[in-house]
Amino acid sequence: MKEVKTPTSRNYKEYLISSLKDSEHAAAYIAVMLELDEEGYDSELLRSALKDVVNARVLSDNLSEAAKQHYEKLDKILAETGGTEIHTLIEFLDALGFRIAISLKD
């Protein structure tokens, strides 16, 4: 019988962080976390995604001091409010027939 290696959560996390070093992957990852689904929007998933992207940038030595400060401020807001402002904006845009899109800057 052939031995099959099952990926561990640590291997997955390492793979995820490695893949998020690519800006296009990072943008798509954040975009997915902003989408509404049947249960709505989950601020904890967004916080986790942003943390993963920041960690990938840190490992790539590609995180400016300004970005770090903005991340810390946003993370604090999301932790305190549960992201109600973001959730309300996403639901409002959804009701109008729009959605938020994350794209790379030129």
Q: What are phi and psi of 42, to 5 degrees?
A: -120, 110
Q: How many CA atoms lie less than 13 Å away from 67 in the CB half-sphere?
A: 11
Say if residues 30 and 103 touch (Cβ distance below 8 Å): no
Asked, for residue 59, whether it belongs to a domain, the answer is yes
Give the pLDDT confidence score for residue 8 in this predicted structure.
63
24 falls within a domain: yes
pLDDT for 5 equals 56
In a domain, 102, yes or no: no
60 domain-assigned:
yes
- Phi, psi (deg, nearest 5) at residue 56: -65, -40
* Residue 68 lies inside a defined structural domain of this protein: yes
pLDDT at res. 20: 95
pLDDT, tens digit (0-9, with 9 covering 90-100), for 47-105: 999 999 999 999 999 999 999 999 999 999 999 998 888 888 988 998 999 988 899 99
Residue 100 lies in a domain: no
Model confidence pLDDT, tens digit, residues 25-42: 999 999 988 886 666 667
**Nearest residue to 15 via CA among 46, 45, 47, 59:** 59
- Assess if residue 3 is contained within a domain: no
Say if residue 1's pLDDT is above 60.
no
Give a yes or no: residue 2 inside a domain: no
Residue that the structure tokens 């300004």 belong to: 66
CA distance 90 to 36: 8
> Which domain, by its residues, includes 68?
9-95
Say how many domains are in the chain: 1
